[in-house]
């Protein structure tokens, strides 16, 4: 049994053949799939445009792997219009999931909710629906994300966020791993029992594989 966990693809209605081929390959090689948030980008497209785009070619493959779809902050039903068509590509839709495999327990969620609990929950309440300002901000963040992937260290901001998520990991049961994403900074910390699956953008791929031999965090170019 091979379980694939990936996140932060930030797909829009625009199609990327190289990214499609990469996602198809890693999904096809797995027996079960968990999408850990920000599958599509709510600031750049709509759910309706996304599900009717060429990305729908992935849907039968995802459904055949009994995909679990956990939303993040960029595809959240609290901020964007999402409907029952999540069932086109997933058998479960929610915010968190627990997986018991190879004698290990994995607590999985995107991570934005955990960070808001730790610090500024009020901010999450304020941004129920995106305004034009939030859309502009998302474009600016996207540009910075692109720059960081292309050569600048992106750990100045994201590593401290991962450290805050590790504090949450220390509060769960000793036999469980906390698996998040959100920060786009992939990390496997066995001491803290914390895993961040990173992002899949700009030709850089990151995902977690869990099988009978344990778990492995994989980073590739596509």
pLDDT band of 15, cuts 50, 70, 90: very high
pLDDT > 90 in the chain, percent: 71
Strands 68-70 and 32-36, bridge-based pairing: parallel
CB 79 within 8 A of CB 128: yes
Residue 133 structural domain: 3-221
pLDDT in tens, 196-221: 999 999 899 999 999 999 999 999 99
Q: What is the reported pTM?
A: 0.86
The residues with which 33 forms a beta bridge, in sequence order, are: 4
- What is d(CA 103, CA 63) in angstroms, rounded to the nearest whole number? 26
CATH value at residue 74 = 3.60.21.10
Q: What is the pLDDT of residues 37-70, one digit of tens each?
A: 999 999 889 999 999 999 999 999 999 999 999 9
In this prediction, residue 102 carries a pLDDT of 82
Query: Higher model confidence: residue 102 or residue 55?
Result: 55
As a whole number of angstroms, the distance between CA 197 and CA 51 comes to 24
Q: Is residue 134 pLDDT above 80, yes or no?
A: no
Q: How many domains does the chain have?
A: 1
């Amino acid at each position: 049994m091979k379980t694939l966990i990936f996140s932060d693809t930030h797909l829009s209605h625009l199609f990327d053949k190289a990214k499609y081929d990469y996602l198809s390959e890693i999904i096809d090689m797995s027996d079960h799939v968990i999408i850990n948030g920000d599958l599509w980008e709510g600031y750049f497209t709509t759910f309706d445009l996304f599900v009717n785009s060429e990305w729908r070619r992935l849907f039968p493959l995802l459904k055949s792997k009994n995909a679990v779809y956990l939303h993040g902050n960029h595809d959240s039903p609290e901020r964007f219009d999402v409907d029952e068509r999540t069932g086109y590509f997933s058998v479960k839709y929610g915010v968190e999931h627990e997986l018991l495999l190879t004698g290990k327990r994995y607590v999985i969620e995107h991570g934005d909710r955990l960070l808001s609990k730790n610090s500024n929950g009020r901010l999450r309440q304020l941004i129920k629906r995106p305004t034009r300002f939030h859309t502009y901000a998302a474009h600016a963040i996207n540009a910075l994300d692109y720059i960081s992937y292309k050569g600048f260290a992106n750990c100045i901001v994201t590593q401290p966020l991962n450290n805050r998520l590790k504090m949450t990991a220390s509060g769960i049961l000793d036999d469980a791993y906390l698996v998040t994403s959100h920060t786009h900074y992939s990390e496997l910390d066995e001491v803290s029992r914390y895993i961040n699956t990173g992002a899949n953008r700009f030709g850089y791929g990151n995902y977690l594989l869990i099988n009978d031999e344990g778990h492995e965090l994989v980073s590739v170019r596509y």
